[in-house]
């Protein structure tokens, strides 16, 4: 890739940082609003019946998946922090070395989503009191609802696009009631999902071309060395 075709400094450095701040700000802003204006289980419609705000909290991973027990929660929170450190390292590496703005944007989305949920699980237990049957208070008098790294992730985006019953001939779930899409999630979950899908869909563009450039650079270096040796022998 010629120097003139490389993405500009704003595109490769400042834009990803701004994107991370925007996603993180939207995620945390919405979570703060939900925590202080809704109680767990409360729900209201945004666009008909297929897009609702439904306040719930989960102990574990994205889309309501969980790992039980205090030790499970501690392990999950610790794993998230370690994974975040790895993502930050890779993000900085990409800013310094890659010419693939799409890959940088994908990692930026994953990084911002991971950071958003880590803030919940690490600090929300200290920052808020319980949301069960009441509106939570930010920095309440006394203690919050949990200790450090034992907070719950706030979810509120609910898209039950359609619902019904599986036909009787359907394997395993025949005749059972279903809702699509059942999981309740947040902006951080959505950012992670979009970033991962970008990498899956465009992986050949993000990685194969970069490998080809590395091989081309190595071939050029080998050719240069060979030419130098021949010149020396002459």
Q: Which of 5-19, 27-41, 45-59, 171-185 has the highest mean pLDDT?
A: 27-41
Which of the residues 27, 70, 120, 189 is marked catalytic? 189
Tell which phi-psi region holds residue 62, choosing left (phi > 0), alpha (psi between -120 and 50) or beta. Answer: beta
Q: Is 155 assigned a catalytic role?
A: yes
Judging by DSSP bridges, how do beta strands 153-158 and 51-58 pair with one another?
antiparallel
Q: Rounded to whole angstroms, how far apart are CA atoms 54 and 187?
A: 14
Ramachandran bin of 69, using left for φ above 0, alpha for ψ from -120 to 50, beta for the remaining angles: left
Report the range of poorest mean pLDDT among 98-102, 114-118, 142-146, 213-217. 213-217
Stated as kind and residue range, the H or E segment containing 75 is helix 69-97
Predicted confidence at residue 41, as pLDDT, reads 95
Catalytic residue among 27, 70, 120, 155: 155
Q: Which of 19, 31, 29, 21 is nearest to 186 (CA)?
A: 31
Q: Which stretches of the chain are assigned E, i.e. beta strand?
A: 43-47, 51-58, 153-158, 162-165, 177-180, 184-185
Q: How many CB atoms lie within 10 A of CB 164?
A: 9
Residue 98 has pLDDT above 80, yes or no: no
The pLDDT of residue 40 is 96
pLDDT value at residue 160? 87
Which of 82, 128, 131, 103 is CA-nearest to residue 16? 103
Q: Is the pLDDT of residue 6 over 80?
A: no
Query: Which pair of tokens denotes residue 233?
Result: 């022998």
What is the pLDDT, as a whole number, of residue 81?
87
Query: In the predicted model, is pLDDT for residue 127 greater than 80?
Result: yes
Report the percent of the chain where pLDDT is more than 90.
50
Tokens of 148: 């450090």
Instruction: Clarify whether 70 is annotated catalytic.
Output: no
Dist CA 76 CA 67 (whole Å): 8
Looking at the predicted structure, is the pLDDT value of residue 9 above 80? no
* pLDDT greater than 60 at residue 228: no
């Amino acid at each position: 890739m010629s120097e003139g075709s490389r993405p500009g400094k704003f595109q490769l450095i400042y834009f990803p940082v701004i994107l991370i701040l925007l996603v993180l700000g939207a995620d945390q802003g919405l979570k703060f609003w939900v925590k202080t204006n809704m109680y767990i289980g409360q729900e209201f419609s945004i666009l008909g019946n297929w897009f609702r705000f439904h306040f719930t909290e989960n102990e574990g991973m994205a889309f309501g998946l969980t790992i039980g027990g205090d030790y499970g929660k501690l392990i999950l929170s610790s794993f998230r922090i370690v994974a975040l450190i790895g993502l930050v390292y890779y993000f900085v590496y990409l800013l310094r070395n890659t010419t693939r703005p799409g890959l940088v944007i994908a990692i930026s989305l994953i990084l911002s989503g991971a950071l958003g949920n880590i803030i919940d699980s690490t600090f929300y237990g200290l920052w808020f009191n319980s949301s069960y049957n009441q509106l939570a208070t930010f920095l309440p008098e006394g203690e919050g609802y949990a200790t450090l790294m034992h907070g719950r992730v706030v979810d509120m985006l609910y898209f039950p696009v359609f619902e019904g019953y599986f036909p009787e001939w359907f394997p395993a779930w025949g005749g059972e009631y279903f809702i699509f899409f059942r999981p309740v999630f947040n902006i951080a979950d959505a950012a992670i999902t979009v970033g991962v899908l970008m990498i899956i869909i465009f992986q050949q563009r993000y990685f194969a071309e970069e490998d080809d450039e590395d091989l081309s650079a190595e071939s050029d270096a080998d050719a240069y060395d060979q030419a130098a040796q021949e010149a020396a022998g002459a």
